[in-house]
Structure 1
Amino acid sequence: MPRIPAPDSAACLAAAARQQQLTKPAGSLGKLEELAITLAGLQGRDIPLPLKPAITVFAGDHGVCAEGVSAYPPEVTAAMVANFVHGGAAISVLARANQARLEVVDAGVAADLAALPVVHAKVRAGSGNIRREPAMSAKQCAAALEVGRMAARRAIADGASLLIAGDMGIGNTTPSAALICRLTGHRPEAIVGRGTGVGDQALHLKCQVVADALARVGSAPLDGITLLAELGGLEIAAIAGFYLEGAAQGVPLLLDGFISTAAALAAQAIAPDITPWLLASHCSQETGHALALASLGLTPLIDFGLRLGEGSGAALALPLLQQAIALHAGMATFAEAGVAGKSAP
């Protein structure tokens, strides 16, 4: 496992000192100041550079759909992958708006996507039904993690200085909820949500499916990779690998919603040093996302009632990060502007 570096504390201190000298009352830009200081530490520069974002959407299907946990059929996964690469999905639009690199990776879609211009890295054609069997074998989980690592390497080699993972997989809120329950200790009723919009009866069923999956795995201590293999999904494991490699290479990670946060919790279970490299873009409308973020110690930047996935919430938050850096770098200090600073009390 590659070593994950710590953020540069000296750069954080220098950035904090600069914030005190900018032509504004200290703290008046609120979270934007905190963001600038955090990004300074992650970049190792007292004045961080503008971000070059890369968005990678990982796709996979889920055997647990056989239990009736989704409002949409599994075939929608492949159709949406086609929509991504043809430019019609929300994340396609947001990537263009943010001038962000966009890559789509088939980590485990059940359909044959050979005709589509995606990264073909299928580990297997859909995961197992976690209610009744492991999502994948240990070997397949290791392969899915490597799919994510390779995607991070490609993005960073292409100049990315911020990584965003998106997800596509009908049924994937169910394994995500199971992972979050197991990794945070919360009960299914507190975490399981409506996903694609299921009704009350299906929501009750979904809670029971997650409870059954957790009971199948048992309560004995398990490492993060084993939990991913038992309860996760191919795209979820790939996202975890994407995060692990990004942090190991010193690149900040902007989380999206419920699925990406489940992957982040799994990545943290594998390598706890990843935590400082995680930034929370938004709080999803999906039940349990706020609790999952709290478990990571993260505060989301926005709450727009989103539950789309794809990386869309992270893409929406990108301008806030860019503007935090622009303000930190571009504002004059009191000395530069010839403005008197705050008087001593």
Structure 2
Amino acid sequence: MAGAKPLAQTGKKNVAHAARLSVAPMMDWTDRHCRYMHRLLSAQTLLYTEMVTAPALVRGRALHLLDYSPEEHPVALQLGGSDPQELARAAALGGQAGYDEINLNCGCPSDRVQSGTFGAVLMKDPARVAECVSAMREVVDVDVTVKCRIGVDDQNPEVVLPDFLHQIRSAGCQRVTIHARMAWLQGLSPKENRDIPPLDHDLVHRMKAAFPDMHISVNGGITSLEQARSHLDAGLDGVMIGRAAYHQPSDILAGADPLIYQTGQVADPENVVLKMLPYVERHLSGGGRLHQITRHMLGLFAGRPGARGWRRALSEGAVRDHAGPEVIVEALSRVVSDTQSVQAI
């Protein structure tokens, strides 16, 4: 399968180190094309797939959902589901595909996810989550991790979150990412659940103090590397960033290696664009469309001179029939020329 890699080449220790900073799994956003570009910006950051449901893999045999490029490592597969045996079979498929980590979604609040009895609703049934984790760990040699909320609906996070962590730790989960917001399963849309419930980063820090042996990452409302570094300096093991990493990928990922991992140099987004061109060629030669890749590249120059011209050139050019790499090259000229114009003033 595309992307398979011997586990010995990655290793649990390396993945845990990579998890100092990660890009959140985001439906319709963090597909393989997005992750390939993110990897060019940062060699170290842990990347996550979009959530893939266990039924889609096990019953639907939609194994193409596991495809990725070897360059994406370290990369984690996020699974959605609630049946331990079905999740175990899905995890085994992910392990065979060479993923460096298998993650269980216990944080998504969408109605579709709730109807399948997985996502954030699982916060109400930590015993089931523990059973799922145990079943998945039995069939893979990589870490099985969990992404959760601090609670749902009328739960008291100070009570339910420690119990949740205790039960999944007892099942063998040593790494967890906590979205520091409650999830309201009724009355708020998934989008509103990302903004309206107040953040409680302090609670996540208290959980690290209560569970010092666990690798705990915080997620939610973090929009800069400086904020990420402050959480790490305060004792957390990792920080996961979502929308900011997608909409302003250069701001978050280009400087991640030297600032978060103390290695490498700040990536130049112009060089990243040029490095994307061979990847684009391969995608097009396989029958793909240009916009499937360029839609993830729109924010590369956010905040820089020429960013508007870059976005417009990509948005308008990439959807045309037979659009090719020349669209990207022309769009890049908008950034370079505008930058040079500013410098000449």
RCO comparison, higher one (Cα < 8 Å, 6+): 1
More strand by share: 2
